[in-house]
Structure 1
């Protein structure tokens, strides 16, 4: 998750997640104040609805020790932040805001209360355009250079489908742009490689071949060139796209890959597979949908 993981950050992981995905701890503070308001001034009904959930959230989701403990059993680094928008949090804060405004007796008091609450919401986060406004280079909202690389690879391969290795950002973007560009590495394997190194057992003969590719090109671990080429053959990967300053360019060139093109910042390298890869995909066009009209009758 954006390079943030429990293993490296420990109990500081929660705070880093809040900074990255909530714009800081402002909204959490508002939630705590809302819980305090319900506890002191709320109706019996509101207390029954919101207080048990608040206790549970503060003991679990918003407890900095919990992700450290849970991560020993499950890898929560890539999903934990989703819990920040759980229903009780996003419902209680605006509910209490409305109750505070409604509790004001005069029109001017309501206006002042509204302005104060609005200011708290605004100042409690980060301005969305605080670092400027990024304007997409094209209608696909990906770098023009990636489109150029995609066209370059398809033109060179001469086949409808081909498989390639991309570095992390391009790997995540190309899969949303070009369905005929098959990826060497899937999302979950890449997220693991960004956060963790590979042990010798994970690079052994019985290990998934993609581990060898990730160890060399993502973790910059020392890998036997022959093992790297075998991994490319096993995965059917013909193309490797690297930034011009990538530390392993010389390694992959020495292993036998050769340049077929380059852009302003990237180099496209090709590997001649020992046997042509079969990129045929499953044809679902004739498959009967499980929710067929026959079942609905």
Structure 2
């Protein structure tokens, strides 16, 4: 998971996961200080809501010993980062800061305290602009325009009902968010595993499915075009593929056509091939 191995990290696993997926420990530090402040200055109800929750989580899912010896045996290590979603950091920090500011006398001291806390929160973590300015979505579906165009053409060609399609990895991971009538020939976890992810598993697939999907991925990702074309086409038929969608610039286009797939339409920089029975 993110290059972090429980056996290698040992009791430091929890910290490494938080730093890897949380960016840094600034927010965590603010959270711990907020819990401490509420434990010392908070009312009984506040301590019950915020402090009790933090202590319970600390002794269970964030306990390094529990993670190493219990969660590891339950097979939950690869998705451990999701446990940080239940930590009420934003709520606790916001509440504690509001209580601190409200506890100051009216005047310059209250404004200065509010400004100082706001500065720590705004500049202590990772900037939301670190990855560039947010981009407006292409359309109301928040999907690439070329994906919508491809889906429209596929339905025009195949008619209503479900359609089994081989998509390139980028489309494969999002197409069903737009249209669930497409059946993915390439299993999502298989694609992620092929790309090097270690947070998913292909245990639900048979050995034959893994073999066939690997051959298809080798071609459409242009990793290995030396595969016998008959083997490639056999894998398509074994997986009951009806169509293949490739980028027009893909080096695999000529291979797929030579293998026997029929080019149907070209739309928005993508070529749609039909897989026919032989």
Tell me the TM-score normalised to structure 1 length. Answer: 0.67
Any residues of structure 2 matched to 1:219-238 within 5 Å, and which?
Answer: 220=223, 226=230, 228-238=232-242
Contact 1:239/1:271 (8 A) holds in 2: yes
Partner of 2:266: 262
Unaligned runs of 5+ in 2: none
Distance 1:117 1:180, change over 3 A: same
Q: Return the offset for 1:31.
A: 0.7
1:118 pairs with 2:122? no
Q: Return the offset for 1:16.
A: 2.3
Q: Return the offset for 1:156.
A: 3.3
Contact 1:243/1:266 (8 A) holds in 2: yes
Contact 2:212/2:239 (8 A) holds in 1: no
SS, match of residue 207 in structure 2: coil
Q: Return the offset for 1:43.
A: 4.9
Partner of 2:20: 16
Contact 1:137/1:144 (8 A) holds in 2: yes
Q: Return the offset for 1:100.
A: 0.7
Partner of 1:29: 29
Distance 1:113 1:211, change over 3 A: farther
Q: Return the offset for 1:133.
A: 3.1
Q: Deviations over 1:67-117 (max 9, x none)?
A: 77746642554x444332315434321221122112212333222222222
Any residues of structure 2 matched to 1:1-297 within 5 Å, and which?
Answer: 4=2, 6=4, 11=13, 12-19=16-23, 24-43=24-43, 46-47=46-47, 49-58=49-58, 70=71, 73-74=74-75, 76-77=77-78, 79-86=79-86, 88-129=88-129, 131-158=132-159, 160-196=161-197, 207=207, 209=209, 212-214=212-214, 216-217=216-217, 220=223, 226=230, 228-244=232-248, 246=250, 248-249=252-253, 252-263=256-267, 265-274=269-278
Partner of 1:282: none
Mean Cα deviation higher: 140-149 or 128-137: 128-137
Distance 1:273 1:108, change over 3 A: farther
Count of equivalent residues: 262
Counterpart CA distance in 2 for 1:215 and 1:153 is 23
Counterpart CA distance in 2 for 1:133 and 1:91 is 25
Distance 1:80 1:248, change over 3 A: farther
Q: Return the offset for 1:136.
A: 2.0
Mean Cα deviation higher: 146-155 or 227-236: 227-236
SS, match of residue 106 in structure 1: coil
Contact 2:212/2:238 (8 A) holds in 1: no
Q: Return the offset for 1:164.
A: 0.6
Contact 1:14/1:64 (8 A) holds in 2: no
Unaligned runs of 5+ in 1: 275-297
